[in-house]
Structure 1
Amino acid sequence: MTGSDYVEAGDPCKRRTKAGSPEQVISSTDKDSDAPDGGVKGWTVLIGCCTAMLATYGVTGSIGILQVFWINHQLKDRSQNAVTWITGLNLFLNLFLPAYIGPAFDRYGTRLILGLGSICYVFSFVLLGECKQYWHFMLDYGLLNAISSACISTVALSTPAQWFQKRRGLALGIVCAASSVGGICIPFLLDYTLAELSSPWAMRILALVTLVLLAIANVCMVERVRSQGPWRAVGLRWLTNPRFMWTTLGTAFILVFEFVLFSSISLIPSYAAGQGFTASQGSTAIAMLNAGSACGRLFAGWASDRLGQFNIMVCVLAYTSIITACIWMFVYHSLAKLYVSIILFGAGSGSIISLAGVCFGQLCKTEEYGECWGTAYLFVSIAVLISVPTGDALLSRLGGQGYVACSAGILGAAFIAFLIARWSVLGRRWTIMVKV
Structure 2
Amino acid sequence: MGHPLSLLYRSGQRTDLSSPWKYFPDRSDMTNEPFQPLHDNFAYIIVAIAFFIMVIVWGANYSFGVFFTPLLKEFGWTRAITSGPFSLAIFIEGFGGMFMGRICDRFGPRLVVTVCAVFFGTGYILMTKITSAWHLYLYYGLMVGIGLSGSYVPLSSTIAHWFDKRRGLMIGIVSSGIGAGTLIISPIANHLILLYGWRFSCLSVGLLALILIVVFAQLLRLPDKNSVRKHTVPNELQEHCRCGPISPGCVGEAMRDKSFWMLCTILLCWGIIIFVILVHIAPFAIEMGFSETQAANILAIFGGAVFFAKIILGITADRIGSRLTFIIGLGFMSAGLFWLLISQALGSLYLFAIVYAFGYGCGSVIMPTIVAEMFGLLSHGILLGVVNFSACIGCAIGPVLAGRLFDKSGSYHEVFVLMTILSVITLMMGFFIKPNERRCEE
1:160 partner amino acid: I
For the structure 1 residues 198 and 260, does the alpha-carbon distance in structure 2 shift closer, same or farther, using more than 3 Å as the test?
same
- What is the aligned partner in structure 1 of residue 342 from structure 2? 330
The CA distance in 1 between the partners of 2:144 and 2:36, in whole Å, is 33
8 A contact 1:292–1:343 mirrored in 2:
yes
- What is the aligned partner in structure 2 of residue 174 from structure 1? 173
2:412 partner amino acid: G
The CA distance in 1 between the partners of 2:90 and 2:33, in whole Å, is 31
SS in 2 for 1:303: helix
SS in 2 for 1:300: helix
The CA distance in 2 between the partners of 1:396 and 1:350, in whole Å, is 30
1:425 partner amino acid: P
- What is the aligned partner in structure 2 of residue 313 from structure 1? 326
Structural mapping, 1:272-287, within 5 Å = 272-287=285-300
- Aligned-residue RMSD, C-alpha: 2.8
Q: Deviations over 1:209-257 (max 9, x none)?
A: 43465146314321114699xxx9x945421123323333xxx222111
2:435 partner amino acid: V
- What is the aligned partner in structure 2 of residue 357 from structure 1? 368
1:404 corresponds, among 405, 410, 416, to: 416
Structural mapping, 1:180-329, within 5 Å = 180-211=179-210, 213-215=212-214, 217-225=216-224, 235-248=251-264, 252-326=265-339, 328-329=340-341
Query: Is residue 414 of structure 2 the alignment partner of residue 415 of structure 1?
Result: no
Question: Is there any run of 5+ residues in structure 1 with no aligned partner, and where?
Answer: 1-28, 428-436
1:314 partner amino acid: I
Deviation, 1:354, is 0.7
Tell me which structure has the larger Cα radius of gyration.
2
Query: Is residue 156 of structure 2 the alignment partner of residue 157 of structure 1?
Result: yes
Identity of aligned residues (%): 17
- What is the aligned partner in structure 1 of residue 42 from structure 2? 41
8 A contact 2:91–2:389 mirrored in 1:
no
8 A contact 1:48–1:217 mirrored in 2:
yes
For the structure 1 residues 148 and 77, does the alpha-carbon distance in structure 2 shift closer, same or farther, using more than 3 Å as the test?
closer
8 A contact 2:367–2:387 mirrored in 1:
no
For the structure 1 residues 75 and 275, does the alpha-carbon distance in structure 2 shift closer, same or farther, using more than 3 Å as the test?
farther
- What is the aligned partner in structure 2 of residue 342 from structure 1? 353
> Does 317-326 or 296-305 show the bigger shift?
317-326
The CA distance in 2 between the partners of 1:372 and 1:181, in whole Å, is 27
Q: Which has the higher contact order (CA 8 A, sep 6+)?
A: 1
8 A contact 2:114–2:218 mirrored in 1:
no
Q: Deviations over 1:145-177 (max 9, x none)?
A: 000110233221211011001111111111111
The CA distance in 2 between the partners of 1:240 and 1:75, in whole Å, is 49
For the structure 1 residues 89 and 30, does the alpha-carbon distance in structure 2 shift closer, same or farther, using more than 3 Å as the test?
farther
SS in 1 for 2:37: coil
The CA distance in 2 between the partners of 1:93 and 1:315, in whole Å, is 29
Deviation, 1:307, is 0.9
Aligned residues: 386
The CA distance in 1 between the partners of 2:417 and 2:389, in whole Å, is 27
8 A contact 2:337–2:356 mirrored in 1:
yes
Q: Deviations over 1:5-57 (max 9, x none)?
A: xxxxxxxxxxxxxxxxxxxxxxxx97995463561100000111111211222
8 A contact 1:101–1:151 mirrored in 2:
yes
For the structure 1 residues 177 and 319, does the alpha-carbon distance in structure 2 shift closer, same or farther, using more than 3 Å as the test?
same
- What is the aligned partner in structure 1 of residue 52 from structure 2? 51
8 A contact 1:93–1:147 mirrored in 2:
yes
- What is the aligned partner in structure 2 of residue 391 from structure 1? 402
Query: Is residue 119 of structure 2 the alignment partner of residue 120 of structure 1?
Result: yes
For the structure 1 residues 103 and 426, does the alpha-carbon distance in structure 2 shift closer, same or farther, using more than 3 Å as the test?
closer
- What is the aligned partner in structure 1 of residue 435 from structure 2? 425
8 A contact 1:129–1:204 mirrored in 2:
yes
8 A contact 1:160–1:168 mirrored in 2:
yes
8 A contact 1:263–1:391 mirrored in 2:
yes
- What is the aligned partner in structure 2 of residue 133 from structure 1? 132
With normalisation by structure 1, the TM-score equals 0.80
Q: Deviations over 1:292-337 (max 9, x none)?
A: 11111100110111111111111111122012112x22344x4433
> Does 147-156 or 185-194 show the bigger shift?
185-194
Query: Is residue 103 of structure 2 the alignment partner of residue 104 of structure 1?
Result: yes
Deviation, 1:62, is 4.0
The CA distance in 1 between the partners of 2:170 and 2:297, in whole Å, is 28
- What is the aligned partner in structure 1 of residue 77 from structure 2? 77
SS in 1 for 2:151: helix
SS in 2 for 1:392: helix
Deviation, 1:282, is 3.9
- What is the aligned partner in structure 1 of residue 245 from structure 2? none
1:285 partner amino acid: I
8 A contact 1:185–1:287 mirrored in 2:
no
With normalisation by structure 2, the TM-score equals 0.79
Q: Deviations over 1:396-417 (max 9, x none)?
A: 4442333222222222121111
Q: Deviations over 1:116-173 (max 9, x none)?
A: 1112211211122332321111111110000011023322121101100111111111
The CA distance in 2 between the partners of 1:202 and 1:54, in whole Å, is 17
